[in-house]
Amino acid sequence: MERTMPRQILALMLAWVLLMPAAVQARTETPLADGWRFHLGEVSGNATTPAFDDAGWQPVAVPHTWNRLGNYDLTRRPDADTTRGVGWYRLRFDLPHDAAGQRTFLQFDAASIIAEVWVNGRKLGRHEGAFSRFRLDATDALQPGENVLVVKVDNSKPEPGSTTEFIVPISGDFFMYGGLYRPVSLITAGPAHIDMMDHGGPGIYGRVVTLADDAAEVAILARLHNAGRAGRFTLRTSVLDAAGAEVAAREEALRLAAGADGARELALTIPQPRRWNGLDDPYLYRMVAELVGRDGTVLDRVEQPLGLRTVAVDPDQGFLLNGQKLQLRGVNRHQDRQEKGWALSEADHVQDMALIREVGANSVRLAHYNHAGTFYDLADRTGMMLWAELGLVNLASIPGVADTPPQMRASAEAQMVELIRQNYNHPSVAVWGIGNEITNWSSKGLTPSNARPLMDALDAVAKREDASRPTTIAACCEVLPGEADDGRDYTSGTADAVGFNLYYGWYVSGRVADAARLGDVMRGYHREMPTLPVGVGEYGAGGATTQHTDNVHGGKIESIYRPQAEEVQAVVHELSWKQLAPLDFMWGTWVWQMFDATSDLREEGDSSDINTKGLVTFDRGIRKDAFWFYKAAWSKKPVLHLTGRRYVDRAYRVVDVRAYSNAAEARLRVNGQDIGTTACADFVCVWPGVQLSAGENSIEASAGAQSDSMVLRYAGPERAVHVRAGSLDGVTLAAGTRYGSDNFFDGGLGYTLNPYQRELYAADQQRPAPKIVAGADMPELYASWRAGSSFRYALPVPDGRYRVRLHLFDPTETEAGKRVFTVAAGGAAPVRIDPVARAGGGMRAVTVELPARARDGLLVLEFKGEVGEAIVSAIDVTPR
């Protein structure tokens, strides 16, 4: 017998169902990653029509870029693709079944630089700017079943008359990859929804109004759009804690006319708030906004992160998080990666963040544009503070024009709005950057420029969009403290704070020791700009993992060419951080840069098309020595790292062994023999004058529970030394004799005969014909020199009698008597030398041989100038 449910129970159940809130019909998002067809260049026929035959096009997945460059070799990779121009993408996709009656949008997380979009032959719109998310309403162009999406992207160079002439950035020391290099998706939402067309933003924006221990007041702004019939709705907002429990809620009834936009800001109070407190406690709430119909149906739902925190900058206290001083020590990051360009995966972003956290940074400057949303999300969750920056680099106007063209200003302002709307809710964003190195100072001198009106306008846009965060600008090339104004642009002061890009020890003089000036320069800026918070937006040096030097002070740096020894980079950072760390008034410092990155302006170090200043290589495969220095200086975990491990085959038998550690001291053993302990001052531990045995040498260091080891080899002679004076790199001659880079000296300076002449932003300049030293049968030994009024060498060799051979030439004097100096070899009487007289002219090679004796393991050469400076190009010490 069939049993039936009592009528009263059925009625109760029906009433219960009717009283329940309708199931959430949240917007849906469908990734459009696979099945794309791509063609580089213009096409014959109309590629925007569904019937167009794209069978011959290349199958690709999105994210995608057609460009490929950057390799660790002295010549550009044979498969490099630096094409700047038009690329076409086509995709056939089925419309989701749940799209019926909904509005459907195409979301592009980024497309470089210009994107035009068609669906089923109907043009939806165009977006300009390479780095921001944008959406297009595709509802009226879509049809049930199969649809055809066509995207034309254009990354043409911003030249006069080009499509990109006024789209910022129009300059920059990084390559502008082309393509759909971030994800594309299809999003459906109800006719009445939280605005999808709000400059690529989420449509809801939360701000902290007050923040105290007992309560926090938060205002949540929701922007709404009604593409359907006029009606009454309810906006429901709530805040959830990290466990998903609701801690605050409020709702408000409203009316939206057909086709109308609306906005509501609702205030909520959160009891006993837990602050988002950077790396120490990156606690995240979630804010939710729901648009509800009259029948209780949830028409749209958006969820966003909410971090309860305050940020500020102060000229004397620096950066303040939740009212407490936080010394921002950070790195710059570009968004590219070897073999992928800008087309990164989520796993790539995760790995980058993990490496940044490992080095001990607490801040990242997102150079020099809006980065992917995934990285902002990672920063929120990990507590990393971000300097989010507008993609405006170098130029505030087109070349040769002082005032910013209206089209260029419009581009900059539009991208400023996109940057802020899209990232407003990320508590990790500490400051908005309005530009980088906007200056009229170039290698060719002062150029027409009137940058301040544009920068003032962008600062005003940022403050209008978000009054809760400070603004900043990265400035370079301005007149130094104490110097007279020479007409250069001053952009410092156009934002709430400034970060100066200063490369002492690298670009400024080309000498490592110059890094010790950095502290005085920053104190000078603070003194001259007492009301402006100052910091350092960039500092650093190039480092090639396959190029090495025996002494970082041995010669002048080739800062935009090669070589670029890994050891030079490391010591520049050692000296720079020693200067910066004590400056409590600064609001932050950022190393340039975390990872090697592409630039088609550069031929540097052991690479082509790569800026080698990363702490980590372009493929993320090698942590350079400089990485380990900062890990020792910044990380709270015990660190011990022996440096120079990639310089395995040493040119000299006697070496300084160095390590980085945050321990007070470290111990060294070489081939099992205890060398002893040394203090680790400023995180650097040095054991000077360690003697290697012939063949392989086991080097072991320990500090507490930490240990590290490496192998060094020496295959040279026991009783001979060959020094290439004035040079940071050694050389092996055709006959097999190996010369180490300049070492064992005290005093004087190293010089290069033919320094690289190419200017960074003047790639069309011709390099002058190289100078040639006449009579040099071994030209490599006459490519550099050491000079000074007085300098000495203390060359480590066993005691005994030796023959010293000096390689000499005069690079500047052409007459006898204009340069005269003496050399005292091994304690013998000084020998008087006039290189021009001995060689028979200037720029002519000559050698001088002297007998000498080594005592106490050293052969000492004393150089003293009588007329002009003493000079030497190479030194041979061989037994007699």
Kind of pairing between the strands at 204-211 and 122-128: unpaired
What is the full DSSP assignment across 43-88? -SS-TTSTT---TTSEEE-SS--S-B--BSSSS--TT-B---SEEE
Nearest to 365 by CA among 336, 381, 389, 335: 389
What ranges in 617-715 are assigned the alpha helix state H? 625-634
Q: How far is the C-alpha of 667 from the C-alpha of 674, rounded, in Å?
A: 8
Can you tell me whether residue 801 is helix, strand or coil? strand
Q: How far is the C-alpha of 22 from the C-alpha of 20, rounded, in Å?
A: 6
Can you tell me whether residue 21 is helix, strand or coil? coil
Q: How far is the C-alpha of 96 from the C-alpha of 144, rounded, in Å?
A: 8
Beta-carbon contacts of 120 under 8 Å, excluding residues fewer than 6 positions away, are 50, 141, 142, 143, 147, 148
Q: How far is the C-alpha of 104 from the C-alpha of 181, rounded, in Å?
A: 22
What is the full DSSP assignment across 497-536? EEEEE--TTTTSSS-GGGGGGHHHHHHHHHHH-TTS-EEE
What is the full DSSP assignment across 759-790? BTTBTTPPPPPPP--BT-SSGGGGSEEEEESE
Q: Count of alpha carbons within 13 Å of 644, Cβ hemisphere only?
A: 24
| Sheet of strand 184-189, all strands in order from the earlier edge strand to the far edge | 28-31, 184-189, 103-108, 134-137
Q: Prior bond to 835 cis, omega within 30?
A: no
CA 245 distance to own-chain centroid = 38
Query: What sign does the dihedral 719-724-725-726 (CA atoms) show?
Result: negative
Q: Is 419:390 a contact under the CB 8 Å cutoff? A: yes
Residue 437 bears catalytic tag: yes
Tokens 């060094």 — which residue?
Answer: 712
Tokens representing residue 769 in the block: 């014909």
Nearest to 585 by CA among 529, 533, 515: 533
Q: How far is the C-alpha of 219 from the C-alpha of 2, rounded, in Å?
A: 58
Q: How far is the C-alpha of 186 from the C-alpha of 94, rounded, in Å?
A: 11
**Which entry of 413, 437, 465, 603 is annotated as an active-site residue?**
437
Q: What angle do CA 276, 281, 284 make, to 5 degrees?
A: 45
Nearest to 640 by CA among 709, 565, 545: 709
Main-chain dihedrals φ then ψ at residue 418, nearest 5 degrees: -60, -45
Nearest to 88 by CA among 134, 162, 155, 144: 155
Cα dihedral 342/345/348/350 (nearest 10): 130
Please report how the helices 346-359 and 625-634 are oriented relative to each other, as an axis angle in degrees rounded to 10.
60
Q: Where are the beta strands (DSSP E) in 569-637?
A: 588-591, 597-598, 610-611
Characterise 683 by phi-psi region: left (phi > 0), alpha (psi -120 to 50), beta (else). Answer: left
CA 271 distance to own-chain centroid = 40
Q: What angle do CA 444, 446, 449 make, to 5 degrees?
A: 125
Q: Give the residue numbers annotated as catalytic, written as ranges.
A: 437
